[in-house]
């Protein structure tokens, strides 16, 4: 079975990025980023949501929200990066908009730190493509 190209799926990848990745913190979460060896490989996201965050319903809601936020970020961040978003218990109390704002800010900051410049949000896809 092939792994999803936009998800961190292997335990080795989680461990490597968690240990060596660049960290950017926001209230309720930490974003860990790593530049991939293959700069043309798709950008991918992974999530760490432990049982300390809450019951399964709460963890799954957070995971679904983070997946939606990461899909939005895929358009802004060029290829060649891996991100892990580690969630802490206080994230369960954040509204979707607050979670989105903090995750986007931390992820874009982490991408800048590893040398991957995000595409500005103000321009449309037609402006980027030419």
DSSP-assigned letter for residue 120? P
Q: Is residue 128 part of a domain?
A: no
Distance (Å) of CA 104 to CA 23, 29, 51, 54:
14, 11, 24, 23
Which H or E element spans position 129?
helix 125-129
Q: Per the structure, how many domains does the chain have?
A: 1
What domain range is 37 assigned to?
Answer: 24-116
Q: What is the CATH number of the domain that holds 35?
A: 3.30.230.10
pLDDT digits (tens, 9 = 90+) for 11-63: 787 788 888 888 999 999 999 999 888 878 888 899 999 999 999 999 999 99
pLDDT digits (tens, 9 = 90+) for 76-114: 888 888 899 999 999 999 999 999 999 999 999 999 998
pLDDT at 121: 65
Distance (Å) of CA 89 to CA 17, 27, 29, 54, 127:
21, 10, 9, 7, 40
Q: Give the separation between CA 69 and CA 49, rounded to whole angstroms.
A: 15
Q: Is residue 84 part of a domain?
A: yes
Q: Is residue 109 part of a domain?
A: yes
């Amino acid at each position: 079975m092939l792994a999803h190209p936009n998800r961190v799926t292997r335990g080795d990848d989680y461990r490597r990025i968690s240990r060596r990745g660049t960290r950017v913190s926001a209230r309720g979460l930490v974003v860990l980023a790593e530049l991939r060896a293959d700069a043309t490989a798709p950008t991918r996201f992974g999530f760490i949501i432990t049982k300390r965050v809450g019951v399964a319903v709460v963890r799954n809601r957070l995971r679904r929200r983070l997946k939606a936020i990461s899909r939005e970020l895929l358009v802004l961040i060029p290829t060649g990066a891996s991100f892990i978003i580690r969630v802490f218990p206080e994230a369960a109390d954040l509204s979707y908009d607050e979670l989105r704002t903090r995750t986007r800010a931390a992820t874009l900051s982490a991408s800048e730190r590893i040398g991957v410049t995000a595409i500005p949000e103000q321009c449309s896809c037609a402006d980027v493509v030419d």
